[in-house]
Structure 1
Amino acid sequence: MIHTNLSGMLFFMVGCFLWIQLVGKKVTTMEKKEAVNYKFFAQTSVDKLFSTFKTSLSGINNNEAEVLRDEYGENVISHKKKTPFIVEVLKAYFTPFTTVLLALAIISFITDYVIVPTDERDLTGVLIIVAMVVLSGTMTLIQSVKSNNAAEKLSNMVKVTATVLRKGEEVELPIEEIVCGDIIKLSAGDMLPADVRLIRTKDLFVSQAAMTGESYPVEKKDTFSMSQKDAETDYENIAFMGSNVVSGSAIGLVIAVGNGTLFGQIAKDVSEKHTITSFDVGISKTSWLLIRFMMVMAPTVFLINGLTKGDWLEAFLFGLSVAVGLTPEMLPMIVTTNLVKGASTMAKKGTIIKNLNSIQNFGAIDVLCTDKTGTLTQDKIILEYHLDVDGKEDDRVLRHAFFNSYYQTGLKNLMDKAIIESAEEELNMNVNAYKKVDEIPFDFQRRRMSVVIEDAFGKTQMITKGAVEEMLEVSSYVDYRGSVVPLTEDIKSTILKTVDELNEDGLRVIAVAQKTNPSVVGEFSVKDESDMVLIGYLAFLDPPKETTKDALKALKEHGVGVKVLTGDNALVTKSVCKQVGLEDEELITGTEISRMNDVELKVIAEKFNIFVKLTPSQKTRLVRVLREAGHTVGFMGDGINDAPAMKEADVGISVDTAVDIAKESADVILLEKDLMVLERGILAGRTTFGNIMKYVKMTASSNFGNMFSVVVASIFLPFLPMLPLQLLFLNLIYDISCMSIPWDNMDDEYLEEPKKWDATRIGSFMKWLGPTSSVFDITTYALMYFVICPAVVGGSYHTLGAEQQALFIAVFHAGWFVESLWSQTLVIHTLRTPKLPFIQSRASFILTTITSIGIAIGSFLPFTAFGQDLGLMPLPGEYWGYLALTIVAYLMLVMVIKKIYVKRFGELL
């Protein structure tokens, strides 16, 4: 009968796994799409493709979108789908620790129920072990579900959208709602939401690093060349999901979505995995260390007790109970609870964690690299001046700048918006009097952009605006004192001097130039930006945030060095940095960096904090050398030029108003673009990490100490120091107490420095603080064996009869049970802080309450019928005085050893 039950249980478990596999295969089959024939889409005419998808250049309507969604599938990659609930259940209940416990439960079931006489059958031990598994698994499951729901909820707060034409109207849709047949518009900063056949392009450059690993952007066009015969990604008129627009603009037809895209196929083949952090490695190493420790300890105790007591079955059961006691089955629950609680806390403080595993790295940041605009400054750019080259206000400069900003189709930045707002307020602009002929989009190498407009009389003008130095390169003439004259070196020096004066006042300056009736063959391109007439410049004010100075000070106090990595020029950056407390800092330019090798750059990156006139690749390079130097680097940015550096950093940080590619590259999203919010998030990350370390180190040291106690007791006592059931119940109470650790406080001093997982410290913590409990376990043995128990039963153990010996053992067990519970529970309060517990540092109300209840239940247990069923007996009054002395002495010794440990190793947790 018993074998049938065990077999049935095994068949049920195997059946569950097979059912999950079948469900997984069914889902895969349902989602599987026929491979996309990219050559067909590249070669086929646009009109024929429109006919295939029953669409047009104006797009589809919502009803047609639903039909196409049913036919071609949803724009969702399967690896991002929610894990089936049954899988979550199995992951929660079948961890390495609970698997060990379940194996022990089966063994206990056989030894306590199957192979013993009917009148001696007892399932209490099995039930306690199963209760531990259920408790650990249920709490882990609850927190996992909370984690998934929280991640989904937070993810919904950070939507990546695309501009779609639906029956001629431009609408912003979440990328999940895009279907095959949609017409989408692309501009700099956009992510490709699906695989797209390009219909119209204008100087379109796309980064395909996610697909091909290519470092440099590739140009995409709306034409197909028959010479193309290499990889699918080589088709010039096909852009792929997962890539992003670096510069230029385009209109495209969606030809594949979700799993049907090339990105979806790669994701299915490669199976996206999260980066293994030092935190993951540390948890894994600690888990297996404790399991190996248990596998050595339990057989050792079994052999010692078997040899010294002669009762091999009892010794086996005790060894089994020791194995259960040494299994940290609450570790998965503690870790998951801490991460979920940390993410929830950080969300309330304006910080969204996209990946829970990034919390530890977030708290470990010791170098924060940040752009200047919007982080140090208010990100509210105001157009202060529109000046001619003489430095006088000139509406003509503003008018030309307005046409450039208004007609461009790329990503309008804050300066474009400030120009448009100022022109609409100050000038009577009539955009209907002009039409746009062409444009040359912005890119980060040229640092300028141009538009070509035509008036009602057929007169055309190319208007270009951009960084002053780059504009001087393409200008041959200047509108100087009322007439157009060649741009001489003297005039250039005068212009640069005026610009420098504005920069020193903290103003950002860009130049404006124009060319009338430019001649062009075919489309306008970068080479047409030449021989232009410089007409003036625009000066913008982006004042520092009021909180920036305090935030930088707070970050420094918490061990985080801030480095400013900006594309802006030296004078503006220096002015802003001076206002926020970064004065007397030497500036390093991108030009200087370009001449350095990595060894030289590593020295410079360590020594200096402000880097100006950087290209995106130089930002990435700086982040890389800082990481190679051993720093945990966070990079905060919001623009397309920041995305590569964010991917390179340990923690990419962005804001919910950032461009798509920046949000996609980030691990952390700030709901406020403020360094003070970031500082609060870093502290929350350190708190989460600290509470995990409390449980890991306490459990490891407690287990190590118990080894000495049990081995000594097994050698010298004529009976087991504690019955298997008593040991199991003791462990259950302790586990419940530990469940409150995620809600504990952390000392302010702990939060001052970045924290990294160092698995080697676990071993040293075990060796130093573990044996302290053994000292007082042994004194308790002696006290109970030679003083308390003889006083209760009226004689020493060997002089008593069998009945009195049983009473002697029951009192002994009760004494060690209560002392063990008090010591291992109160030491939580001692080891949670390097300070004086209860006085200098107090645990949270939840931790204090739960541990107090646990101690109360354990102390009262010997006086109850249930306790006596467990083999415990009421303790005499004098025991409690000895107990108080023992606990006080134990905690004092722990504090002494703790101070020595901190002095030697630098930190406790």
Structure 2
Amino acid sequence: MPANRIEPVPDVVSDYVEPASPAGDVDKTCGLTSARVEQLRARFGRNVVDSAVRRTWWRTLEEVLREPMFLLLLAASAIYFVLGDVSEALTLLAFVAGIVFLTVFQSHRTAQVLDSLRELSAPRAQVLRDGQRQLVSAAELVPGDVVFVDEGARVPADGALTEAHELSVDESLLTGESVSVSKSALRADAPPEQAPDSQLFFGSMVVQGQGQMIVTATGPNTMLGRIGKSLTGITEARSPLQLETRTFVNRFALTAIALCLVLVVAYRWRSGEWLPGVLAGITLAMGILPEEIPVILTVFMALGARRIANEGVLTRRMSAIETLGQTSVLCVDKTGTLTQNRMSVRVLFAQGKRQIIDQNTQRIDEAYHELIEYLVLASEIEPVDPMERAFHETGRVGLAGTGRLHKDWSLVHEYALTPELPAMSHAWHTLEPGHHAVACKGAPEAVCALCHLGERETQTVLDHAAQMASGGLRVLGVAKAQHSHAAWPEKQHDFEFSFVGLVGLLDPVRPEVADAIAQCQAAGIRVVMITGDYPSTARAIATEVGIDGARIVTGGEVAAMDDVQLRDAIENVDTFARVKPEQKLRLVNAFRESGQVVAMTGDGVNDAPALKAAHIGIAMGLRGAEVAREVASLVLLRDDFAPIVSTIRLGRRIYANLVQAISYTVAVHIPMIAATMIPVLVGWPPMLAPVHIVFLQLVIDPVCSVVFENEPERANLMRLPPRRAGERLLSNRALAQGATAGAVAATLVVGLYAGLLTHGYPLPFARTLAFASLVVGNVALIFAIRALPQSGSRAHASERNRYLWIVLSITGVALVLLMTVPALARLFGLVALFGP
């Protein structure tokens, strides 16, 4: 036995499924009952192997208490106590408690959103319960469940195989061995040494074939759980936007430290006192530090992911939200994305004749019965694929009473479709002793090659196939063979196939696709169709949905091109047909190398490399392989094209609103910095104290993270070109505009304060009016930032931001109370301007 193979776990089946056999008392045709599932879940818990610590209130509170702003507030309170101003210190501590509560609430809410999104992205499993095949979260599996696994799926629990068809599994997560391992069903009389080859282990990836297993262990009792590995232990690297904002905040922090030192020294030089100078420095630091920016980024990404999920798209990597607005090329598959993936047999070709199948067809001519017979035999017994379902349905209707539906035959051997040979074969044991029937279906050119047709015959078949494909049909060839030897050939070419016919399937285009593609094109996004279908099929579909199909490049032509020729092709071609997975990867890389930001859809195991290579990989959630979903950035909760466009639209909106929020953060700190520094440097009495900064923070934080996040979409959002790759969050122009708006507000506030002091008004009165003007200035900056040119044209009048008016109303009420209630005004060192 190889050194890296897993040793069998003794009695692993008998521990969980009674009695001591792989099948136990589980009925493989019905599975467990719902009541039994609940009992087992109560006993064994959830099927989760996860070392990650879930966020709690206490953990969130601990993170908040380590924030620089909180530490500055505590330092300011301590200084007030030392100076003997107990009321000021207690007031500040009360505001500290309020800010901590709001921050913890907001952070925990954001974490809960992220946790709920992770729950949605959890692996799923096909399970048999109550006699029905169901799709459930893998975390809900229990020992004894009958689970189906197929190519591209991650094994959701430990289990014993009861059925296996050409099944091989990658167990490198457990063994470190990258070579896939073949698996076979466990027989009742199997020797013990066969057990490892009949066991599937949680976390392994199915790389080929299909199988059925009975779960023997879940969660921490699995092999993966016993060795303490976690599938979620790998943390995602920081995104470019996170790195940019972190650099931005660090620069602000360095500036704050330098200015604070200058202010402390200046205060000491003018007044001869250190503690008030340190207090002024703390006030300035609180006014400078843009601690809102990391919070803004986290909240925008989390709530943005939830908005996107509401559109039917799951965000697996938050960095994808940043990139959506930069998408310039969208590579899409045809089947199930542009089309409905609801196939029906439309054309049959056999014996030189052709019949069209539609709603008015009463019967299928006898000349096509053999074609339908072998189509059904070449399909799975219980098909999931819409194409094979269509074959079974046609056989059920068209072959009823003909004796060609072989319910008494048994499937004994399979040959899987491969990139090198796009055809598959099923070998059946018939009622005749030693006689086997072999049915094959696949790409017409591959079937012609298997039948060893001459050049002329092949060309005739391909001409018929091209004619059928020109009507937008998906075309397959069908062949048959007989086999009477004991040993099975290694490859399909060793059979003596004879050609049976062609079948054309209709997969209608989704009605909303043409409009969605038009929206992409208006937004400067190229939509490129990459399909494995015939060029004529691709051209027909491309024309119908609005993609340029005038020139089509095939996968064979891509393979023959050098890099220079391929770069020229991708600049002028929007439709690629007969493309293999490795060519799809090459196309994605070519688009990337040409400076495009690429989003790409895919669903199969072979699509995984291209999905990973694209800037934004988009996996199909319903029919996609688990490996495709794992490497993708986004997962479609329904296999449709329209949600992709909605997601791009939302990505642009989220980023535009994020720019506004950061611009506001920059602008709003400038008046606070000026109001703190200038009076001290000039020699006036300080205008602001820490408690004033705290009050302003209670306005700034909700404005940045709530108001701007809920800003409606701008009217011209999807008529703007994609954002340039590598473009900074705040361009020099946007930064200058925000700083200018803040400087204007600062000038007005400081000018008012200076004017009042110059004209002999009492200090409390001057401070009160200046502080009120500063609050009003902060509010005015909201509208100034929303009106900046980079924000785009205004949203429709019907789309109002109700959160803006809620924040403004609360701020207005708080300011009025501050100006009218003497006791409240005194806590802030102000005077009541109105009232008794």
**Which SS does the other structure have where 1:247 is aligned?**
strand
> By how many angstroms is 1:400 displaced?
4.4
- 2:599 maps to which of 602, 618, 634: 634
CA separation of 1:380/1:216 partners in 2, compared to 1, >3 Å: closer, same or farther? farther
Matches of 2:333 and 2:242 in 1, distance apart?
30
Name the residue aligned to 1:611: 576
- 1:90 pairs with 2:47: no
1:652-708 CA distance string (max 9 Å, x none): 323442244144444433344332222112212222232233222221243356445
> By how many angstroms is 1:494 displaced?
1.7
- 1:460 pairs with 2:436: yes
- Alignment TM-score, normalising by the size of structure 2: 0.84
Query: Which has the larger displacement, 660-669 or 273-282?
Result: 660-669
Query: Which has the larger displacement, 128-137 or 519-528?
Result: 519-528
Name the residue aligned to 2:807: 850
**Which SS does the other structure have where 1:462 is aligned?**
strand
Percentage of matched positions with identical amino acids: 21
Name the residue aligned to 1:108: 76
CA contact (8 A) 2:151 2:625 kept: no
1:587-617 CA distance string (max 9 Å, x none): 2222233344566545544543222222223
* Consecutive unaligned residues in structure 2, runs of 5 or more: 188-195, 356-364
Matches of 1:165 and 1:614 in 2, distance apart?
39
**Which SS does the other structure have where 1:719 is aligned?**
coil
Alignment of 1:69-84 (within 5 A): 74-79=46-51, 82-84=54-56
Name the residue aligned to 1:471: 447
- 1:405 pairs with 2:373: no
CA contact (8 A) 2:649 2:717 kept: no
Matches of 2:567 and 2:157 in 1, distance apart?
39
Matches of 2:172 and 2:22 in 1, distance apart?
31
Matches of 1:492 and 1:817 in 2, distance apart?
87
CA separation of 1:432/1:80 partners in 2, compared to 1, >3 Å: closer, same or farther? farther
**Which SS does the other structure have where 2:210 is aligned?**
strand
CA contact (8 A) 1:733 1:854 kept: yes
- 1:245 pairs with 2:221: no
**Which SS does the other structure have where 2:353 is aligned?**
coil
> By how many angstroms is 1:473 displaced?
0.7
- 1:323 pairs with 2:291: no
**Which SS does the other structure have where 2:663 is aligned?**
helix
CA contact (8 A) 2:741 2:784 kept: no
1:404-461 CA distance string (max 9 Å, x none): 4356358642221111112212221554564124232432322212222344444532
**Which SS does the other structure have where 1:654 is aligned?**
strand
**Which SS does the other structure have where 2:400 is aligned?**
coil
> By how many angstroms is 1:813 displaced?
1.4
Name the residue aligned to 2:166: 203
Name the residue aligned to 1:867: 825
Name the residue aligned to 1:428: 400
> By how many angstroms is 1:875 displaced?
6.5
Name the residue aligned to 1:3: none
**Which SS does the other structure have where 2:587 is aligned?**
helix
- 2:750 maps to which of 760, 781, 791: 781
Amino acid at match of 1:129: V
- 1:126 maps to which of 93, 97, 100: 93
Query: Which has the larger displacement, 236-245 or 552-561?
Result: 236-245
Name the residue aligned to 1:482: none
Name the residue aligned to 1:810: 764
Name the residue aligned to 2:687: 721
Name the residue aligned to 1:730: 696
Name the residue aligned to 1:834: 788
CA separation of 1:774/1:184 partners in 2, compared to 1, >3 Å: closer, same or farther? closer
Name the residue aligned to 2:276: 314
> By how many angstroms is 1:552 displaced?
0.7
CA contact (8 A) 1:509 1:539 kept: yes
**Which SS does the other structure have where 2:520 is aligned?**
helix
Amino acid at match of 2:125: T
**Which SS does the other structure have where 1:289 is aligned?**
helix
Name the residue aligned to 1:447: 422
Matches of 2:273 and 2:109 in 1, distance apart?
42
Name the residue aligned to 1:542: 507
Amino acid at match of 1:247: Q
- 1:651 pairs with 2:609: no
CA contact (8 A) 1:442 1:448 kept: yes
Matches of 2:158 and 2:87 in 1, distance apart?
70
> By how many angstroms is 1:576 displaced?
0.9
CA separation of 1:172/1:522 partners in 2, compared to 1, >3 Å: closer, same or farther? farther
CA contact (8 A) 1:208 1:218 kept: yes
1:60-99 CA distance string (max 9 Å, x none): 75698789878987531214674344334434x246xxx2
> By how many angstroms is 1:163 displaced?
4.2
Matches of 2:172 and 2:8 in 1, distance apart?
22
Aligned-residue CA RMSD in angstroms? Answer: 4.1
> By how many angstroms is 1:509 displaced?
1.3
- 1:288 maps to which of 232, 236, 250: 250
Query: Which has the larger displacement, 467-476 or 543-552?
Result: 543-552
CA separation of 1:244/1:599 partners in 2, compared to 1, >3 Å: closer, same or farther? farther
**Which SS does the other structure have where 1:742 is aligned?**
coil
CA contact (8 A) 2:671 2:745 kept: no
CA contact (8 A) 1:567 1:614 kept: yes
Alignment of 1:685-696 (within 5 A): 685-696=651-662
CA separation of 1:853/1:760 partners in 2, compared to 1, >3 Å: closer, same or farther? closer
Amino acid at match of 1:326: I
Name the residue aligned to 1:176: 139
CA separation of 1:670/1:836 partners in 2, compared to 1, >3 Å: closer, same or farther? closer
CA separation of 1:57/1:469 partners in 2, compared to 1, >3 Å: closer, same or farther? farther
CA separation of 1:759/1:301 partners in 2, compared to 1, >3 Å: closer, same or farther? farther
Name the residue aligned to 1:142: 109
Amino acid at match of 1:633: V
> By how many angstroms is 1:160 displaced?
1.2
CA separation of 1:109/1:711 partners in 2, compared to 1, >3 Å: closer, same or farther? closer
Amino acid at match of 1:514: K
- 1:382 pairs with 2:344: yes
Matches of 1:457 and 1:774 in 2, distance apart?
93
Name the residue aligned to 1:22: none
**Which SS does the other structure have where 1:41 is aligned?**
coil
CA separation of 1:279/1:122 partners in 2, compared to 1, >3 Å: closer, same or farther? closer
Amino acid at match of 1:424: R
CA contact (8 A) 2:22 2:160 kept: no
**Which SS does the other structure have where 1:514 is aligned?**
strand
1:252-292 CA distance string (max 9 Å, x none): 56565434556555744992212432233234333333333
CA contact (8 A) 1:734 1:854 kept: no
- 2:124 maps to which of 143, 157, 160: 160
CA separation of 1:838/1:851 partners in 2, compared to 1, >3 Å: closer, same or farther? farther
CA separation of 1:237/1:285 partners in 2, compared to 1, >3 Å: closer, same or farther? farther
> By how many angstroms is 1:533 displaced?
0.8
> By how many angstroms is 1:323 displaced?
1.6
CA separation of 1:120/1:449 partners in 2, compared to 1, >3 Å: closer, same or farther? closer
Matches of 1:450 and 1:159 in 2, distance apart?
30
Name the residue aligned to 1:589: 554
Amino acid at match of 1:405: V
CA contact (8 A) 2:157 2:202 kept: yes
Query: When the two structures are aligned, how many residues end up with a matched partner?
Result: 798
Alignment of 1:189-228 (within 5 A): 189-196=152-159, 201-206=164-169, 219-220=182-183
1:787-809 CA distance string (max 9 Å, x none): x445564xxxxxxxxxxxxx2x2
Amino acid at match of 1:777: A
Name the residue aligned to 2:469: 503
Amino acid at match of 1:453: W
Name the residue aligned to 2:362: none
Name the residue aligned to 1:745: 712
**Which SS does the other structure have where 1:369 is aligned?**
strand
Amino acid at match of 1:618: Q
> By how many angstroms is 1:712 displaced?
3.3
